[in-house]
Amino acid sequence: NAGVTQTPKFRILKIGQSMTLQCAQDMNHNYMYWYRQDPGMGLKLIYYSVGAGITDKGEVPNGYNVSRSTTEDFPLRLELAAPSQTSVYFCASSITPGQGLLSDQPQHFGDGTRLSIL
């Protein structure tokens, strides 16, 4: 099973460029998440989606956009790349939480996209 697949694994962008980080899952999970992890730090939630067509902001959404047109895919877009967005980006998915809370179901993570903005 592939689980959660993220592409690309590495990317270098120039300031002001845009790009889309791809995320796909084959577990038929309704919930999907995007996180960023800065060096030596924990993960911070950027955006999440509870199903196709529905997205919501996390802790650090500024500078990013997401869409969820299918259950399988949850791309993250950077419109105007800035040095502060240099980070490792992780996508995750989970089954629908039983009590409607994000924290009550285990999340399955991809291996990340390492992004540098120069």
Strands 10-13 and 113-117: parallel
Query: Does residue number 26 form part of the binding site for another protein (CB under 8 A)?
Result: no
Q: Residues 45, 65, 86, 95: which binds another protein (CB under 8 A)?
A: 45
Report in angstroms how near the CB of residue 77 gets to another protein at its nearest.
20
- Residue list 60-89, contact with another protein (CB under 8 A): none
Query: Does residue number 4 form part of the binding site for another protein (CB under 8 A)?
Result: yes
Q: By the 8 A CB rule, do 31 and 13 touch?
A: no
Report in angstroms how near the CB of residue 104 gets to another protein at its nearest.
4
Q: Residues 87, 112, 115, 117: which binds another protein (CB under 8 A)?
A: 112
Nearest to 91 by CA among 8, 22, 11: 22
Q: Residues 34, 35, 64, 74: which binds another protein (CB under 8 A)?
A: 35
Binding site residues, another protein, CB under 8 A: 4, 33, 35, 40-45, 58-59, 90, 92, 99-104, 106-112
